[in-house]
Structure 1
């Protein structure tokens, strides 16, 4: 027996015949052991008492489970299994469907089959199925659903198959070798299209058009091509080169955005789906999805200085690459945990160094939208965060105060917010249970440096 490869492919091989006879004997069920013990006892009593009829009965009882062991051991069942997981990536709280298929590739029917798939406890109870006799060349399909309120990456499998004889005296267990991975990504919230203060380009399709010239003397013309608009003919260059020249087309540029997620363990308290850190992860995921849908070139940056996608602070590109980058960033958020760092200096350095310009907008160090989700800030980290604003065209900070999330009185967060606003940040405090959609709209309507407070959902 063999398990199929992840997502449905399967292969068949020799099954119980590979196991040793000792392993087959160990597969005797309680009924089989009882038959063997009763038969042995009856045979001994018949020998002592000289009762030939009882001896025959005892030998029959003892031989039956042994014959079943031998038959099941030598029977070459070719049973293959496969698993299909749909979808392979779900948001927290969403359900995925797992479909199991068993195929009997041998010429002999099987006995009763019992299936058990191993799943982590967080996904629910371990699924078990009982299949009737599987005829030669037959197929059976069963399915179950898994669900998790916690993001993460969870293995499904390996699949275990228990094969029994018709009398239920012997039970052999085999484990299939493959497994699938279910990725539970953070929940996302649909955000309103707002214009954030300080943006250098139109916030709508995430792109703007910039002429490739600064003045009439800085024109970089090209040769006229059939179909070009005659209104773009550059007569001075035409007279100079002796052939019809036109101004270059306006070059589309994609606005850039960086989503900064603070993962420091010292900056957050608590755990679980309702904790402050999980709120920050979910809000960061919502922001990434929203900005990608609006056409931004986006990257995810953490306090450790690591950026996704790409090394060196690379941003996502358009088209299919943007879809791949979105999946990569969501997969990263699915498994992101607390870091051991105590400060934001690495993220500050990553923003200062930036990435190479791809021709689609300003360099990361010279502009672009910055959206930060920050935990507890002391004086030093507040100054570090304030210094990040100089590298960005617009900066919005959502600060989660651990005192307020833990139900303790605290006033330092307002001082931190005031300092960030003085350096040009649009800074908002995030109270427990706040709706990120409401805070996002507040960030879009707040004037630069305004006193803004988060609202409850």
Structure 2
């Protein structure tokens, strides 16, 4: 649930009957009933009327407590607020719980419990003192996960107890909330990739929309437009003041390709190779969006996410912000695919004109290496991070076969790097920039300047 929001639900008895209430007898209550029945039997056998009265008192007291607690009509409203609702792996979120007594009667002792998945930590429990009529109580707890994903929180439960501890009833709320744990991202340096298209935000290349009167694409006049740009022929045609579209900013494009094939990775857990690839893809997506690129996320299955703009690329600034959230939500739950090859992704990329290509690959055999080499478009920059499963499982050096495949990718124009366990994406990004550049390499902007 977004920070600042709330979901209010009325408490209700899930049992729906006296039978459920009787099932709420505690160990003390059941012991009293058993002792009362035993005393009554002994009184009948021994002919002791006083013992019979004691037995009836012991047996009836828990039943009276059940009846009183069952007929209690506390009207309690509960709400939950997450702050924030989307957190990176390893970061904490705080869950705020609020209980409001909306009835005219004060409540008794309340035991509050919230259901959370075990990966977020222990199940939180709170004891609330008597809540006056119209009063409220607020408590909070923290959750943290080392595994990305979407985790449901709820339902919230209240446990009601009688003063003697004979009976305990549970009343649940119906509201659920979801905590999204997104991949951890790294801040990347600003590098200049030779061959990438220049758009606003990283240059000022623009495409002119005026090639003559026949090519004019007019638009409605807006306050502040130069009157010298008024196109009178279109104004006469449409019956309203129209102006020329003289310049259209062209945003540079970047495709981030994530290999999710199950056969390309080994190992599970937060330190697995696949988790590094997902985190790396998230870091590049955020970095390119900050640079003003129009970005899309592509997987080996050919799925383009979020797919709101043309060909799956993000559009304007507001759409980029929304798409960034959708991409991070998608990466929070992305899992291995059943595919065995990268042909579907190649079919999407072979059309050309995709701009910069940054890919994260698992194991590549000879066939897939050849296919990846053909993905790199002529004149476009392409960077590949290759994660060898054997290296990640054994922790050894990169095998010779992997080095040979990296050489083949470099010969095809890729800037290809092998990723070892524990590697920093920022360091690899800088390492790629320090490599001797060809038409697709990463280079420093000038001899003395920093990264651009």
TM-score, normalisation: structure 1: 0.85
Distance 1:206 1:125 in 2: 51
Partner of 1:343: 341
Pick one of 139, 151, 158 that aligns with 1:142.
Answer: 139
Report whether the alignment pairs 1:60 with 2:57.
Answer: yes
Pick one of 252, 267, 271 that aligns with 2:268.
Answer: 271
Pick one of 357, 370, 391 that aligns with 1:383.
Answer: 370
Partner of 1:291: 288
Distance 2:127 2:382 in 1: 58
Structure 1 position 12, deviation (Å): 2.5
Residues 125-173 of structure 1: CA distance to partner in whole angstroms, max 9, x if unpaired? 1111112223332222111100001111111111222111111100011
Distance 1:349 1:266 in 2: 20
TM-score, normalisation: structure 2: 0.85
Residues 175-210 of structure 1: CA distance to partner in whole angstroms, max 9, x if unpaired? 322211111000000111110122231695476323
Pick one of 408, 417, 436 that aligns with 2:406.
Answer: 417
Distance 1:43 1:7 in 2: 57
Say if 2:350 and 2:377, in contact at 8 Å, map to a contact too: no
Quickly say closer, same or farther: Cα 1:22–1:392, change in 2 above 3 A.
farther
Say if 2:381 and 2:440, in contact at 8 Å, map to a contact too: no
Pick one of 312, 321, 324 that aligns with 1:323.
Answer: 321
Q: After TM superposition, what 4+ stretches of structure 1 lie above 6 angstroms from structure 2?
A: 216-219, 449-452
Partner of 1:368: 355
292-301 or 425-434, larger mean C-alpha shift: 425-434
Say if 1:207 and 1:255, in contact at 8 Å, map to a contact too: no
Partner of 1:397: 384
Structure 1 position 444, deviation (Å): 3.0
Distance 1:107 1:227 in 2: 63
Distance 2:100 2:36 in 1: 37
Distance 1:227 1:137 in 2: 58
**What is the number of equivalent residue pairs in this alignment?**
422
Say if 1:183 and 1:334, in contact at 8 Å, map to a contact too: yes
Alignment of 1:122-161 (within 5 A): 122-161=119-158
Structure 1 position 247, deviation (Å): 8.5
Quickly say closer, same or farther: Cα 1:273–1:36, change in 2 above 3 A.
same
Distance 2:123 2:15 in 1: 27
Partner of 1:84: 81
Gaps of 5+ in 2: 231-242, 443-452
Partner of 1:111: 108
Distance 1:206 1:21 in 2: 74
Quickly say closer, same or farther: Cα 1:8–1:247, change in 2 above 3 A.
closer
Distance 2:174 2:9 in 1: 11
